Structure 1
């Protein structure tokens, strides 16, 4: 593709209503076009980059024996009713519609339930395990506020991966293999030295999770890095080493005046106020 043949142009400014840094930069460079809040189209330039990224990820996933598939966007409600996640009270991001015969269907916002239904149709014994599958697929989520640009809006491309194992030990070993595969991806992207495996808050099934955070000026999260271990923590879950204040929650003493010109420094002040050190 010759640059002279492309129809896109760079822009001096991003749309006034675009708040996400990643989308602002990509729109100005002509890689994506904003359709509406949380929804973007990829231009030829953007699609070429996207396909290159997908191919690198695909090669690394195949390297650890994961198999690519593509599941449907339309979801039948019976499958999700089994887990209770069809309820709008429990999951408030569903996009739902009706077929012409009145049957209610949903548009996939994640695919845990569909992959279980698919795999249990084929797996008949523990001897069939382990199995790992992944896909690149559009997700649709009825987010109240779409503020993360192309990362997570109302429609976005997700690479999701699922694996089933016969033992916890095998699961944990494969989990580490996946982490190493993603590290190789980031190194091939040219971001390996600035990307950290980061402890973060969990999702639907766990209290905590891991995420990959890349340090950049357009970043939107705060993380804390421990230099001695190269371990990173999202600010949401960063541990605190400070000793808890034993006086937390104590009744505040009434305000008063203290007039003593001989009080110099914090130590003298705490002694005069009878504050324990």
Structure 2
């Protein structure tokens, strides 16, 4: 490929709307172009990168007995109604109708399509186990797209679905796929990706893991124990709280607290720490606006994923009206009256001498004793884990919170979909059973962006050779010089004939522009042909990561470059 023919422009200025490096560099380098919110077109360099990532994915999925298939992007709503997700998933699922009025959905994931494809095939235990996978376009109507390809609405994903006759067989295959994912990340150039326990979310199932690339720009928060190595997404991390109980409980006392509504204000007023307070966080159910009142220790925050999972329905922050029966800013567990769902975080269990709202305007209580004053409370884990918190695995206060980009996930789905969609098989003993499923996904574009985040400098991406758009960037400095032109053209043709992927820059531009564009394209090896070099019968070869730079003899250039391409 000649650079002068490469569609897409490269430019120096960082786009104002690009907040992360991968987004800015891939826009500046002519990899992608904005189409609409969370939707991008790919230019040739990005397409070449993602194609190589897909090849690696196919090789690793085939190596664990995967069979590639393809599901439709558009599916009848009836499939999703069978599984129950047509109603349970919110606006992320794009619903529409065809010209005949039949309801359809645009695929954001393909569990339903996978079951529909194989439920007639898998009617005997003799057919199991098997795994099918695809690399397919999907659409998820994200409310908050960000960071270029890291969070989009339209994306390409490798998703795989395995089917088993026992949980034990699923677990064995889950481990095989886990190791295949580790190989994929190593091959694309991010071997330091870590796995963390995660929340299954809309996918369902009992066990799931996310693969995270740790980076400050990551959208996910990860709890990591510095002592035992425990790792979990903050959404799924269990919160362990040790609340000290005073030997003597004070009496419950009503205190006038005018114009005080927040935990910060009341603790400042009472001259106590937030850990000595009980705060109310109020939500409403999406379906009917019923109120949910959650009490939690004042220094902690609510993990809404845990809360939603416990409730089993979607919620939103409450709008507290005069008719609600709640006194905004003064809500407490003692003598709370009304038709509410009332929940308690276990950070309050056994605690005493707390402050809390009195359910009376401009009044709080002090001396709240949860055992005495809220004796019927049941406690559950609804809190976010915190920096310096107690590790749920080893019990030491060694939790650190890091940021990461999710670059893949795997789920043990169990029988959630096969049971809902009535997929059965005849077992060896003649009984009818539901297959057990696993699910395994990697976003292709997001992985490319994550690699860029991990491998770049201020000048552009530094692509690992396995997925780089080309293997060699050939720069003909002063192509108007006859010898430079002749030699560079010949070298270009010889390298291509030997199977080397070359991007050739023979434009009539300055060396500065030429090298700047080469930095943005991030090709592993740069070869420079110039009048000065030709006088010395040498070529300059440098790596994009600046790990080496050397001069090679012209007469041995092709063989030397082939060796460098294969070795690096």
- TM-score > 0.5, shorter chain as reference: yes
Q: Report the equivalent of 2:126.
A: 127
Q: Report the equivalent of 2:50.
A: 50
Farther-moved stretch of structure 1 (45-54 vs 78-87): 78-87
Q: Report the equivalent of 2:100.
A: 101
Q: Report the equivalent of 1:69.
A: 69
Q: How far did residue 14 of structure 1 move?
A: 5.0
Q: Secondary structure at the match of 1:26?
A: helix
Q: How far did residue 46 of structure 1 move?
A: 0.2
Equivalent residues of 2:18, 2:147 under 8 A apart: no
Q: Report the equivalent of 1:186.
A: 185
- For the pair 1:196 / 2:194, whether they are aligned, the reply is yes
Q: Report the equivalent of 2:354.
A: 251
Equivalent residues of 1:68, 1:135 under 8 A apart: yes
Give the paired residue count: 252
Q: Report the equivalent of 1:272.
A: none
Q: Report the equivalent of 1:6.
A: 6
Q: Quote the Cα distance in structure 2 between the aligned partners of 1:244 and 1:51.
A: 53
Where do residues 108-257 of structure 1 align in structure 2 (5 Å cutoff)? Answer: 108-147=107-146, 149-192=148-191, 194-204=192-202, 205-206=204-205, 209-226=208-225, 230-240=229-239, 243-246=242-245, 249=278, 250-252=353-355
Where do residues 9-24 of structure 1 align in structure 2 (5 Å cutoff)? Answer: 9-19=9-19, 22-24=22-24
Q: Secondary structure at the match of 2:220?
A: coil
- Give the structure with the larger strand fraction: 2
Q: Quote the Cα distance in structure 1 between the aligned partners of 2:216 and 2:26.
A: 14
Q: Secondary structure at the match of 1:142?
A: coil
Q: How far did residue 217 of structure 1 move?
A: 5.0
Offset from partner CA, 1:47-87 (integer Å, 9 cap, x none): 00000111111101110001111110111122221122223
Q: Quote the Cα distance in structure 1 between the aligned partners of 2:175 and 2:9.
A: 43
Q: Quote the Cα distance in structure 2 between the aligned partners of 1:9 and 1:38.
A: 21
Structure 2, unpaired ranges of 5+: 246-275, 279-352, 356-364, 367-568
Q: How far did residue 242 of structure 1 move?
A: 5.2
Q: Quote the Cα distance in structure 1 between the aligned partners of 2:55 and 2:101.
A: 40
Farther-moved stretch of structure 1 (242-251 vs 54-63): 242-251
Q: How far did residue 227 of structure 1 move?
A: 5.2
**What is the TM-score with the length of structure 2 in the denominator?**
0.41
Structure ranking higher on relative contact order (CA contacts 8 Å, 6+ apart): 2
Offset from partner CA, 1:159-205 (integer Å, 9 cap, x none): 1111110110000000010000000111111211x211112222220
Farther-moved stretch of structure 1 (240-249 vs 118-127): 240-249
Q: Quote the Cα distance in structure 2 between the aligned partners of 1:248 and 1:162.
A: 47
Equivalent residues of 2:198, 2:210 under 8 A apart: yes
**What is the TM-score with the length of structure 1 in the denominator?**
0.81
Q: Secondary structure at the match of 2:83?
A: coil
Q: How far did residue 24 of structure 1 move?
A: 3.0
Equivalent residues of 1:196, 1:231 under 8 A apart: no
Q: Quote the Cα distance in structure 2 between the aligned partners of 1:95 and 1:19.
A: 27
Q: Quote the Cα distance in structure 2 between the aligned partners of 1:106 and 1:10.
A: 38
Q: Secondary structure at the match of 1:211?
A: strand
Cα separation, partners in 2 of 1:34 and 1:127, compared to 1, 3 Å: same
Q: Quote the Cα distance in structure 1 between the aligned partners of 2:18 and 2:213.
A: 22
Q: Quote the Cα distance in structure 2 between the aligned partners of 1:115 and 1:20.
A: 35
Offset from partner CA, 1:21-67 (integer Å, 9 cap, x none): 54333222221111111111111000000001111111011100011
Q: Quote the Cα distance in structure 2 between the aligned partners of 1:2 and 1:227.
A: 50
Q: Secondary structure at the match of 1:30?
A: coil
Please report the RMSD computed on the Cα atoms of aligned residues, expressed in angstroms: 2.5
Farther-moved stretch of structure 1 (90-99 vs 234-243): 234-243
